[in-house]
Structure 1
């Protein structure tokens, strides 16, 4: 009997392994490269660096641009995996989209457009970094040009679990509290530096510096921090809503000097108030730092008429922006400027014609 069981297991093992591979990597096999035919501004079929269709901000702004350009005779092709830090480089170099990766598949993107990228949308800060400095270690890409900046506010917030007993970072240092922190970017490092705390201190006190999102959702955290705080349920911000609804939070207010330090670290940041009830647990208005801006951009060699048409389409359809997951706004006073990124002559011509730019 023992030998029979062993032989049966040997026979079943390849089947089990095949099942595991299919269930684990089936989505990878579903990837598809799409030949979209002739593309480019000359045939009014430009490829746009966009993002996922499942609530990604650059994805829904891609949908917006595609629909807005259609009445002008354009068929915009959306690259759904030209997101994160890829877009500016791809547009600058008129390069092809990268291979799909695990993050794309998790976002529901399993199709790659096999065509060079002509224009795109990214955050205002990323466009500025790409144009004037380095983005993801590459650049600067000095041939990028602004077409339109759309307002899209979000906040830098720090919240603690109420039952943690934490009232301030001074208290954490004095009591050497073993806190577990989610959101360990440069801004949180600036906060710790201000109070004379290091990540090594947090670890030495028995805490954890670098709680994962999954751990935070399970309640294994004391502090959450981040610069994408918003009640919107797009993938990048939704954890603020879900965690604040699931756990009782207390939001900390930082000293003015520290807030100014954070502003100085981020090109697109400014001092703002986060209003009461922005998120569950935010029971008062607090001073903090905000950022706003998503930027449509293009190369400097794009036809002037193409940039003019894109600027015109975004403006004339700006009323549709309020119906997206994030409530974008169009401000004639800021649409034509993005932290020193040059404006494309075609977009400039449009803004002068309508009186936004004097």
Structure 2
């Protein structure tokens, strides 16, 4: 049942998000610019990286880290700031040109479109796996079996549920049993929808009780809400997680425990791990809360990337890993997981470096 819901949700996201069909959200003439950056590609050591915005977007700041890490080796990394959302794996797999700029790009300071084919990228670890296997949001156009992992960078977030105390509930199950007209803020991540299903909450029923499901975009302290359910919980102020800080600072919230059986389902079927949100993670977290979490952003490429380039990138990431602690998100490199693609093959050049460092068995 969880896997069925994940598939349905992912297809819904693919249909709803403007990055899959850009025409409705493309910016008008004269807004933003397409820039010719000259000759790029493997033979030039000038590589185009599918990255993201400069305003603390995780794939954006990791792109900056990577750009600086490989510079001493003679590589110039050109950051494609609008090769983000779900599009990175597609663009890399197809060696495609970046998509048109959309309104959301401009909102986060991206006004430049690179006129050059994408060589490699950064994305979320689960998303890379879905693309490689042709699952969920990549079911219609995948699988992209030519994708290869270069490095996994740890980046933890937690699944947390918080409610306004005046709601008077101790479990999400009470929303259905009492048919409460609650306004639920959620990130609509595939790891969240099984939570709603487990507790018998669906959009149609919720709306029939006078409630609603609200996305996390443009959340302010004044946004009306009763419940928050999100697997992107973190005190970091990147765009995807900043609403947690906004809401927990402005409101006194009560954090709920999740049923153990639900956590087991998320671990078994939703690509998550058991985790504990410890005291003080966010304002209002007043105890250790057992939950599920996820961690992992990935640097990835196509299989046709020459081994010496993949080797150099893996080496540079490892060599400069100490710099990761200075970014907005809590990034780190774990030698035990840096080469683990969870089913996505490791690029041969990266594998050679990790074997030399004894990071692989």
TM-score (norm 1): 0.89
Q: Which residue of the partner structure matches residue 310 of structure 2?
A: 307
Q: 1:212 to 1:52 in 2, by over 3 A?
A: closer
Q: 1:188 to 1:153 in 2, by over 3 A?
A: closer
Q: 1:212 to 1:334 in 2, by over 3 A?
A: closer
Deviation for aligned residue 1:184: 6.4
Q: Which residue of the partner structure matches residue 256 of structure 2?
A: 252
Q: Which residue of the partner structure matches residue 6 of structure 1?
A: none
Q: Tell me how large the CA RMSD over aligned residues is.
A: 1.8
Q: 1:28 to 1:154 in 2, by over 3 A?
A: farther
- Matches of 2:348 and 2:192 in 1, distance apart? 40
Q: Which residue of the partner structure matches residue 234 of structure 2?
A: 230
Q: 1:105 to 1:141 in 2, by over 3 A?
A: same
Q: Which residue of the partner structure matches residue 151 of structure 1?
A: 154
- Matches of 1:211 and 1:57 in 2, distance apart? 19
Q: Which residue of the partner structure matches residue 206 of structure 2?
A: 202
C-alpha contact 2:49 2:118 (8 A) present in aligned 1: yes
Q: 1:27 to 1:234 in 2, by over 3 A?
A: farther
Deviation for aligned residue 1:203: 1.7
Report the secondary structure of 2:106's partner residue. helix
- Matches of 1:331 and 1:53 in 2, distance apart? 25
C-alpha contact 1:32 1:111 (8 A) present in aligned 2: yes
Q: 1:228 to 1:303 in 2, by over 3 A?
A: same
Q: 1:181 to 1:82 in 2, by over 3 A?
A: same
Deviation for aligned residue 1:227: 1.2
Q: 1:65 to 1:116 in 2, by over 3 A?
A: same
- Matches of 2:215 and 2:71 in 1, distance apart? 45
Q: Which has the larger radius of gyration?
A: 1
Q: 1:73 to 1:192 in 2, by over 3 A?
A: closer
Instruction: Determine whether 1:31 maps to 2:35.
Output: no
Q: Which residue of the partner structure matches residue 265 of structure 2?
A: 261
C-alpha contact 1:150 1:293 (8 A) present in aligned 2: yes
Deviation for aligned residue 1:182: 1.3
- Matches of 2:54 and 2:287 in 1, distance apart? 35
Question: How many residues are aligned here?
Answer: 333
Instruction: Determine whether 1:124 maps to 2:125.
Output: yes
Report the secondary structure of 2:310's partner residue. helix
What runs of 5+ residues in structure 1 fail to find an aligned partner? 1-24
Q: Which residue of the partner structure matches residue 60 of structure 1?
A: 61
TM-score (norm 2): 0.88
Deviation for aligned residue 1:327: 1.7
C-alpha contact 1:182 1:216 (8 A) present in aligned 2: no
- Matches of 1:188 and 1:26 in 2, distance apart? 31
Q: Which residue of the partner structure matches residue 190 of structure 1?
A: 194
Q: Which residue of the partner structure matches residue 12 of structure 1?
A: none
Q: Which residue of the partner structure matches residue 298 of structure 2?
A: 295
Q: Which residue of the partner structure matches residue 14 of structure 1?
A: none
Report the secondary structure of 1:61's partner residue. helix
- Matches of 1:109 and 1:184 in 2, distance apart? 22
C-alpha contact 1:94 1:117 (8 A) present in aligned 2: yes
